[in-house]
């Protein structure tokens, strides 16, 4: 199953090894879920994860991002002419739409109402 993971889910998964975001990351690492991404998403992941306030080590970040690159699906998504309140979120929506993937986010209000845009709990409930 293809998924696009918003950065806030990735941060939460690394921050706390328990809970829904960590379960999503575990499903990705086990190969049950395949992350879709593009260069913009990878750049945001790296930029956010390297912020000093999170205190993630460079080896943790590099290992995770290398794993995503090696095991995920890299795409060049079609730009969409949809207005976003936070333009930085548009890339996640474009990649998910392009791949036919579920977009998992903690900021559902930042995205258009669409059946593939899900919170962690919504996704895990449907995934069972």
Q: Give the pLDDT of residue 59.
A: 96
- pTM to 2 decimal places: 0.95
Give the model confidence (pLDDT) of 29-67 as tens digits: 999 999 999 999 999 999 999 999 999 999 999 999 999
Q: Give me the pLDDT at residue 85, please.
A: 85
Burial of 30 (0-12, 13-18, 19+ CB in 10 A): exposed
Instruction: Return mean pLDDT, the chain.
Output: 96
C-beta separation of 25 from 19 below 8 A = no
How far apart are the C-alpha atoms of 68 and 75, rounded to whole Å? 13
Q: What structural domains does the chain harbor?
A: 2-127 (3.40.50.1010)
Contact at 8 Å (CB) between 37 and 22? Answer: no
pLDDT at residue 124 tops 90: yes
Q: Are 114 and 108 in contact (CB under 8 A)?
A: no
CB atoms within 10 A of CB 22: 17
Question: Whole-angstrom Cα distance, residue 73 to residue 35?
Answer: 6
Asked whether residue 111 carries a pLDDT value surpassing 80, the answer given is: yes
Helix 39-49 with 58-71: angle, nearest 10 deg: 160
């Amino acid at each position: 199953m293809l998924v696009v993971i918003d950065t806030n889910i990735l941060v939460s998964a690394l921050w706390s090894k328990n809970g829904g975001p960590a379960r999503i990351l575990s499903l990705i690492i086990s190969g049950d879920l395949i992350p879709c991404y593009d260069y913009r998403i990878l750049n945001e992941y790296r930029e956010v994860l390297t912020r000093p306030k999170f205190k993630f080590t460079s080896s943790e970040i590099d290992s995770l991002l290398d794993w995503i690159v090696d095991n995920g699906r890299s795409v060049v998504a079609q730009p969409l002419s949809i207005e976003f309140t936070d333009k930085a979120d548009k890339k996640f929506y474009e990649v998910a739409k392009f791949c036919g993937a579920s977009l998992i986010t903690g900021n559902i209000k930042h995205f258009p109402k669409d059946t593939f845009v899900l919170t962690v709990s919504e996704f895990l409930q449907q995934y069972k």
